[in-house]
Structure 1
Amino acid sequence: MGKTRTPYPAEFRAQMVELVKAGRTPQELAREFEPTAQTITNWVAQAERDAGVRHDGLTTAERQELTRLRRENRQLKMERD
């Protein structure tokens, strides 16, 4: 399965998160910028996980490690067979 490209740069996502923290709503930002309100809400939730504020999912670092380990596991299985 191929890796999908994120159309929004990390700096843009971080800026949207900061604007939400400053009091703007995701709906308001969605009207002004291109991402949907749900996408912005997801970015805020992920930023909170990465900061240790939320504990309901994987941090970005944990997701990257899981992806790396799955890839390594797949490669080892192919080499074994």
Structure 2
Amino acid sequence: MAAPKKYPDELRARAVRLYRESDPKPLIRRLAEQWGVHPERLRTWIRQDEADRGERDDRLSTSELDELRRLRKDNAELKRANEILKAASAYVASELDPTRRRS
């Protein structure tokens, strides 16, 4: 289960929108103080918004991050299922082995 968010999504969206619509661009530090968030948190939000808009290619977009998380979860589940199947097939093979001594 994910940890609860410290900042509501609406606050994040409004702070990023204010930064994007401001001309000239305000200092992130000052804007963060106005909104009551840590400057690095606001900077991260702005970078992620730029990635989502296709303005940055050094970060994955939110949809790509969601897909990556889903694929990693699916991969882990498939690995667990594969281990179970390996163990089951080894057990069945040992039960069918004609050279195995039965007690």
Deviates more, 1:38-47 or 1:9-18: 9-18
Which residue of the other structure, out of 43, 47, 50, is the alignment partner of 2:49?
47
TM-superposed CA distance for 1:9, in Å, is: 2.0
Higher relative contact order (CA 8 A, sep 6+): 1
Sequence identity, in percent? 34
Amino acid at match of 2:46: V
TM-score by length of 1: 0.86
Describe the superposition over 1:39-64 as per-residue Cα deviations: whole angstroms up to 9, x where unpaired: 10110110000000111110000000
RMSD of Structure 2 on Structure 1 (CA): 1.4
What residue in structure 2 maps to residue 68 of structure 1? Answer: 70
Query: Within 2, Cα distance between the matches of 1:29 and 1:5?
Result: 24
Q: Give the unaligned 5+ runs of structure 2.
A: 84-103
Q: Give the unaligned 5+ runs of structure 1.
A: none
Query: Within 1, Cα distance between the matches of 2:28 and 2:47?
Result: 12
Describe the superposition over 1:6-58 as per-residue Cα deviations: whole angstroms up to 9, x where unpaired: 22122211111111121333211222222111110110110000000111110
Give 1:1-80 correspondences, 5 Å limit. Answer: 3-21=2-20, 22=22, 23-80=25-82
